[in-house]
Structure 1
Amino acid sequence: YRFETAKLPNEEVMAIVAEKCGIAPNKTYAVCAPTACLTGSIQVAARIVETGLHKLHEIKFPLDVIKDGFGTATVAPVAKDDLGAMGRTNDSISAAGMTYYTIDVEKDKQDELFDLMKKAPANTSSSYGKPFIETFKAANYDFYAIDPGLFAPAIYTVTNVRTGKSITVGEINHSLLKDSYKLN
């Protein structure tokens, strides 16, 4: 089991993990990494496809038509603390993350789904446009005060295997990434 934390889970937490996984506690291992380290930056970037699927679920895209997916995201430079790292890793996904999915649908359904895809990229969010850490501070550090549409890749490409047609929506925001990474 993977934990995004600087602290090891206690025995009670590991017992719950073991039970949920259906294995003996002595066969259960925890991999822990704070966000503010290279491993933390890598594991957040590695979840790009999952992040993209979550947003698709939120906009009511039928996940059962997706046959496969892959993605890329920049690995954020390591920040001095977890709060700064959270900002940088979120920006890696929303400003530069790219996902690619293949779907299998009839042509008449394809047009409807391609139109729905226009709602998926992070730049469709009312909270989009500045480094995540600034957005988080402006929301008084309350995730629920941030438009959940922000938590999405920058770009989605979807290809229908039945028709061979593709759509790409969203854009890379180099300026936002430079601001987040403090490269300006």
Structure 2
Amino acid sequence: MTDFRSPLAGSPLSVNRLARPLVDRLLAEADALALTVTHDASGACLVDAGIAARGSIEAGLLIGEICMGGLGRVGVRSDGLEGWPTWIEVRSAQPVLACLGSQYAGWSLAASKEETGGKKFFSLGSGPARALAAKEALFGELGYRDQAAAGVLVLEVDRVPPKVVVDKLLRDCGLEPAGLTLILTPTTSLAGTTQVVARVLEVALHKAHELGFALGDIVEGVATAPLPAPSPDGVIAMGRTNDAILYGGRVHLGVRGDDAAARRLAQQLPSRNSRDYGRSFAEIFKEVEYDFYKIDGALFAPAEVWVSNLDSGNTWHAGALNMPLLQGLWLQQA
């Protein structure tokens, strides 16, 4: 019997193998997606999705699916509902593995000025290659580690990672250079903004984990969030992607188990439970002097949540969208 604290123990699924056809498509269609593909001195593949290359929303959708290890679908809806023209839709039949075992940006990658020979480097790695290295404590809780011979990692950066970081990735993932693909997606780009907003379901899974809900009881997930235009200002761009989820994110989780636990999850999950709710993320971030750890953790959650217990057939709803706030931040008067 699988320990409920290790919901992915014994999983036969390989997020890197499942993502590989999507990576191959990204590389094959790079010109059409406005991407640039190069290789570094070691032979690792680098995909510029918004640094010098223009990138695109379509590339961001595909990168979102790559981040989810081929276990999620990311699409776009343009119907003008809720007073905003374009929405990202995400769904997964394996939400814990797709979101926490792959998509979550949990791998801290840093290098000092001395190590880089110039400017210090920092990024959070996200995507399937995290599960090859399994450096985060989260993988011990999940009971999961991938064993694929090739891997892909997404970095939200505005420059190519230095050699010392690439060498670390190869070493920790146990890969040959030809087996590593790095996708670079600054949040100031179309692809970068899109792939971050596509984390709306992952944000809900991470919050459920923080609340102590049994991850093995989460079996389905569907989510939407509005897609803002990227900003050339890095802080504003990051603020917009966060606000899209905190004030415009809708999530429907399918769970099993106890009705009381499902009801409690619905009540506690929405972002409105945070003391920081109601202001733009960029404003909050500046106020705490750009220190994420000073922001109330309860804020990092979708705005509106439904939780359906598939064992009892009961559904609970809590939270609400705050589109007037988003329109005030994003929309200029014609």
Same fold, TM-score > 0.5, yes or no: yes
Counting helix residues as a fraction of each chain, which structure ranks higher?
1
Structure 1 residue 182: Cα displacement: 4.3
Structure 1 residue 11: Cα displacement: 2.2
Residues in 2 aligned to 1:120 and 1:183: alpha-carbon distance in whole angstroms:
31
Q: Please list every run of 5 or more consecutive structure 2 residues that lacks an aligned counterpart in the other structure.
A: 1-152
Pairing 1:90–2:239 present: no
Give the RMSD, CA atoms, in angstroms.
Answer: 1.5
Question: What is the aligned partner in structure 2 of residue 173 from structure 1?
Answer: 322
Question: What is the aligned partner in structure 1 of residue 270 from structure 2?
Answer: 121
1:162 is aligned, of 311, 324, 330, to 311
Counting strand residues as a fraction of each chain, which structure ranks higher?
2
Residues in 1 aligned to 2:266 and 2:157: alpha-carbon distance in whole angstroms:
33
Q: Say which one has the larger Rg.
A: 2
Aligned residue pairs, count: 181
Contact 1:95 1:153 in 2 (8 A): yes
Question: What is the aligned partner in structure 2 of residue 23 from structure 1?
Answer: 175
Correspondence 1:141-156 to 2 at 5 A: 141-156=290-305
Pairing 1:44–2:44 present: no
Question: What is the aligned partner in structure 2 of residue 104 from structure 1?
Answer: 256
Structure 1 residue 18: Cα displacement: 2.5
Letter in 1 for 2:165: V
Q: How high is the TM-score relative to the length of structure 2?
A: 0.52
Letter in 1 for 2:209: H
Residues in 1 aligned to 2:198 and 2:173: alpha-carbon distance in whole angstroms:
22
Contact 1:100 1:157 in 2 (8 A): yes
Q: Where in structure 1 do 4 or more consecutive aligned residues deviate above 4 Å?
A: none
Residues in 2 aligned to 1:141 and 1:60: alpha-carbon distance in whole angstroms:
27
Pairing 1:13–2:162 present: no
Q: Secondary structure at the match of 1:72?
A: strand
Residues in 1 aligned to 2:305 and 2:325: alpha-carbon distance in whole angstroms:
18
State the identity %.
Answer: 35
* Bigger RCO (CA 8 Å, 6+ sep): 1
Q: Please list every run of 5 or more consecutive structure 1 residues that lacks an aligned counterpart in the other structure.
A: none
1:63 is aligned, of 215, 220, 228, to 215
Contact 1:131 1:179 in 2 (8 A): no
CA spacing shift, 1:100–1:22, aligned 2, 3 Å: farther
CA spacing shift, 1:70–1:15, aligned 2, 3 Å: farther
Residues in 2 aligned to 1:15 and 1:50: alpha-carbon distance in whole angstroms:
28
Contact 1:91 1:180 in 2 (8 A): no
Structure 1 residue 111: Cα displacement: 2.2
Range 8-17 or range 29-38, more displaced: 8-17
CA spacing shift, 1:26–1:11, aligned 2, 3 Å: farther
Residues in 1 aligned to 2:328 and 2:280: alpha-carbon distance in whole angstroms:
7
Structure 1 residue 179: Cα displacement: 2.5
Structure 1 residue 58: Cα displacement: 1.1
CA distances 1:90-112 after superposition (whole Å, capped 9, x unpaired)? 0000000111211111xxx2123
Residues in 1 aligned to 2:198 and 2:253: alpha-carbon distance in whole angstroms:
15
Letter in 1 for 2:184: C
Q: How high is the TM-score relative to the length of structure 1?
A: 0.92
Structure 1 residue 26: Cα displacement: 2.3
Question: What is the aligned partner in structure 1 of residue 75 from structure 2?
Answer: none
Range 137-146 or range 89-98, more displaced: 137-146
Letter in 2 for 1:2: V
Letter in 2 for 1:55: K
Letter in 2 for 1:118: Q
